[in-house]
Structure 1
Amino acid sequence: MFVRKTSATMDFSKNMLIHNNQKLYRCEVCEKIFRRSGNFKAHMLIHTKEKPHQCDVCEKRFRQSQNLKTHMIIHTKEKPHRCDICEKKFAYRQVLKTHMLTHTNEKPHRCDICEKKFRVLGELKKHMLIHTKQKPYRCDVCEKRFSQIGSCKTHMLTHTNEKSHRCDVCEKRFRRREHLKKHMIIHTKKKPHRCDICEKRFAHIGVLKRHMLTHTNEKPHRCDVCEKRFTRSESLKIHLLIHTNEKPHRCDLCEKRFSQLGNLKLHMLVHTKEKRFRCDICGKRFGRGAALKYHKMIHTNEKPHQCVVCEKRFRQIASVKTHMLTHTNEKPHQCVVCEKRFCQLASVKTHMLTHTNEKPHQCVVCEKRFCQLASVKTHMLTHTNEKPHQCVVCEKRFRTLGNLKNHMLTHTNEKPHQCDVCEKRFGLLARLKTHMLTHTNEKPHRCVVCVKKFSQLGNLKRHMMTHTNEKPHRCVVCEKDSANLGI
């Protein structure tokens, strides 16, 4: 039976020792009392900060000889203690005892405040700091405070930039041993943790625990500002930065700021142009592992995420969420200049460039500038004359997937877009929008030379040639030049 020592029982024990006339050793610094002189001497080293026992291999120092003996196992790599159930081996008996609780699922240590249970007393003590909000450990450099000494030590390495743990396979370095252990699973490709519901396997127990929440749909972490809920505490912390508008991570090269360290690391790839991840099938390289993962789905034609309304399938869960807005007709993102609304935040950012007239992306061949990087990539195909997207019916090729999809409507004779006024149907949404101008008599495109107005941008472009006297189209029969392709 587990009995917790309270301050009352400890005081009683001390009094009994006094009555029994037993010699006691009292620390003059903190007034703690000891029965044995050995324990008293070991305790005093905490105050004097002496560490008389030194490791001959790495020169690390310890207060007690027993701690040195325990440390030496790291160098000898001995694991004399074995679990009788799963045969896993351990260096220390106490670690084996803790491990055994994973088989019995025992958690003997309970928090009196929130009733959460723990296998190890040390974990309970760490947990209690959440309730007391104590942060007893302080960084000597920036004075940031921590609830755990381990966290403080790890933080200190950010100032020294020390990464003492190295992977023997790829030589990547880490600040913490735990991070190196997690990294090693990449090389061994072991996934020892399995979900009992869907049998999906994971390399780390923490990832399995997060995955389990997808089955229970549990979101235990709530934002106090907007009441949005999250499955992970880390996600809540990142979300809170939206409300505070904090961006603590800064790029040293361009001074752009980010709310998350991960986003800063991804941004740095823009400067270094590093693409570590390569597709085994087509050889294309990517800066992010996630980008490679989604790219591979193009080859396998995998679309694991499905819309519950129309059953359309997507490669990414984010794409499903964006698609769902087409059913709800939600447009949560608004332009601050013209108040036009959009489904996606990225669309607002792109739209804003029309107001500022910014075109940050330039073609390296003809120096033509574009608002979006994707537009540059599509434009480059005009120089290479590439048409990577092919129609499976007539084998006609197209530069963009969007153009191929539009073309496919000519084979299916689909016209999904209908005019609300005259009920005329169109294959393309753009054609419907242009048609609607005939009802409203709008002519939004104006010539800057003669102020003549047009309902379509294409008509304005053709009209502009009358001012510049351009005639780019030549007849193959009589070689006469014309401003219009049809003439």
Structure 2
Amino acid sequence: MEKHTVKKQYSCQVCGSAFSQTSHLNSHMRTHTGERPYSCQVCGASFSLNSTLRNHIRTHTGEKPYSCQVCGASFSQNGTLKIHQRMHTGEKPYSCQICEASFSRNCYLKMHLRVHTGEKPYSCQICGTTFSRNASVKIHQRMHTGEKPYSCKICGAAFSRNVHLKIHQRIHTGEKPYSCQTCEAAFKDSSKLKRHIRSHTSERPYVCQICDFAFRNSTHLKDHMRTHTAERPYSCQVCGASFSKSGTLKNHMRTHTGEKPYSCQVCGASFSENATLKRHIRLHTRGKQ
């Protein structure tokens, strides 16, 4: 059977692209002229195509005419529905030519390629730190602004990232989905499991460049580095005393508040520091040894 080919007789004088209809050529020409003749009557946004305006108007009306036949989720655009359906089919049509990783969306592939190129096109306007993703810049900037848009419905604690909120919520639910295969200890988040595993392997990947002392996690290395720099970034708002570790500041604050959260299960005595409680407990156990 012979294939019927459509003749593309209308050519763009700027870039040479060819089209079968004059209306298609006219629409294409707006990519060169920047013309946007279709305007939204609600917010004034303008578009080069009438179809793009129709899609935009649904952001105001809330209309979602495209529905997934598998799970019922609905969308304002047909293209968004097609991308969603790949979640069900597992289709990943966009492949990396370097490592063969595949993705359901072209934008995910573009972001992935920066792993290989090292490209970081998004910069923080405050401190200049660069990132491979725009979303990472937005999250980073909350460190400067103090914005914490994700709040716990139970205790009101607020977080700059949704993933941190999810980890926090496990305090309330008691969920510990990350388990050690050696001793079955369980943890709320994967980073704590990784640190714990090093207690079995004795791995200490974080090394001080000054004295070669090694640590199981990066936080301990940062704390250690202050013994070289004498930096004391944690200050008491009551008396002005400063400390190299946040935990030391917390212990110090109890000298002002009188809080003693560590209690002896034998005699009921309470202490401001866990280390003091441990020393006290030895008084009870000493005679039994």
Check whether the contact 2:148–2:160 (CA below 8 A) recurs between aligned residues: no
Unpaired segments ≥5 residues, structure 1? 18-23, 131-146, 152-232, 414-424, 426-487
Check whether the contact 2:19–2:25 (CA below 8 A) recurs between aligned residues: yes
* 1:378 equivalent in structure 2: 251
- The reply to whether residue 105 of structure 1 matches residue 89 of structure 2 is yes
User: When the two structures are superposed, what TM-score results if normalisation uses the length of structure 2?
Assistant: 0.65
Question: Which of these residues, 306, 317, 338, is aligned with residue 190 of structure 2?
Answer: 317
Check whether the contact 1:279–1:296 (CA below 8 A) recurs between aligned residues: no
Q: Using a 3 Å threshold, how does the CA distance of structure 1 residues 293 and 395 change in structure 2: closer, same or farther?
A: farther
Unpaired segments ≥5 residues, structure 2? none
Instruction: Give the residue type in structure 2 aligned to 1:378.
Output: N
* 1:267 equivalent in structure 2: 143
Displacement after TM superposition at 1:302 (Å): 5.1
Question: Which of these residues, 257, 261, 265, is aligned with residue 388 of structure 1?
Answer: 261
Displacement after TM superposition at 1:388 (Å): 1.0
Check whether the contact 1:247–1:257 (CA below 8 A) recurs between aligned residues: no
* Structure 1 stretch displaced more, 395-404 or 53-62: 53-62
The 5 Å alignment of 1:111-122 reads none
Deviations 1:34-58 (A, max 9, x none): 4544444444444444444444334
- The reply to whether residue 57 of structure 1 matches residue 42 of structure 2 is yes
Check whether the contact 1:258–1:264 (CA below 8 A) recurs between aligned residues: no
The 5 Å alignment of 1:229-268 reads 233=112, 237=115, 250=124, 252=126, 255=127, 257=129, 261=137, 264-268=140-144
SS in 2 for 1:339: coil
Deviations 1:66-110 (A, max 9, x none): 555555555444455666665555556x55984896698396978
SS in 1 for 2:266: coil
Displacement after TM superposition at 1:379 (Å): 1.1
* 2:203 equivalent in structure 1: 330
Deviations 1:437-480 (A, max 9, x none): xxxxxxxxxxxxxxxxxxxxxxxxxxxxxxxxxxxxxxxxxxxx
- The reply to whether residue 369 of structure 1 matches residue 242 of structure 2 is yes
Distance in 2, matches of 1:406 and 1:240, equals: 55
Distance in 1, matches of 2:25 and 2:149, equals: 58
* 2:215 equivalent in structure 1: 342
Distance in 2, matches of 1:388 and 1:62, equals: 62
Q: Using a 3 Å threshold, how does the CA distance of structure 1 residues 81 and 401 change in structure 2: closer, same or farther?
A: same
The 5 Å alignment of 1:91-240 reads 94-95=78-79, 98=82, 105=89, 126=106, 233=112, 237=115
Q: Using a 3 Å threshold, how does the CA distance of structure 1 residues 407 and 76 change in structure 2: closer, same or farther?
A: same
User: When the two structures are superposed, what TM-score results if normalisation uses the length of structure 1?
Assistant: 0.43
* Structure 1 stretch displaced more, 292-301 or 323-332: 292-301
Distance in 2, matches of 1:292 and 1:392, equals: 33
Distance in 1, matches of 2:64 and 2:148, equals: 41
Q: Using a 3 Å threshold, how does the CA distance of structure 1 residues 364 and 307 change in structure 2: closer, same or farther?
A: same
Check whether the contact 2:92–2:102 (CA below 8 A) recurs between aligned residues: no
Distance in 1, matches of 2:84 and 2:168, equals: 43
Check whether the contact 1:277–1:288 (CA below 8 A) recurs between aligned residues: no
Q: What RMSD, in angstroms, separates the aligned Cα atoms of the two structures? A: 5.1
Instruction: Give the residue type in structure 2 aligned to 1:393.
Output: V
Distance in 1, matches of 2:192 and 2:198, equals: 10
Query: Percent identity, aligned pairs only?
Result: 29
* Structure 1 stretch displaced more, 290-299 or 398-407: 290-299
Displacement after TM superposition at 1:385 (Å): 2.0
Displacement after TM superposition at 1:274 (Å): 6.8
Displacement after TM superposition at 1:381 (Å): 0.9
* 2:154 equivalent in structure 1: 280
Distance in 2, matches of 1:275 and 1:115, equals: 33
Q: Using a 3 Å threshold, how does the CA distance of structure 1 residues 387 and 286 change in structure 2: closer, same or farther?
A: farther
Check whether the contact 2:12–2:18 (CA below 8 A) recurs between aligned residues: yes
Check whether the contact 1:279–1:292 (CA below 8 A) recurs between aligned residues: no
Distance in 1, matches of 2:252 and 2:80, equals: 63
Indicate the structure (1 or 2) with the bigger Cα radius of gyration: 1
Displacement after TM superposition at 1:305 (Å): 3.4
Q: Using a 3 Å threshold, how does the CA distance of structure 1 residues 331 and 100 change in structure 2: closer, same or farther?
A: closer
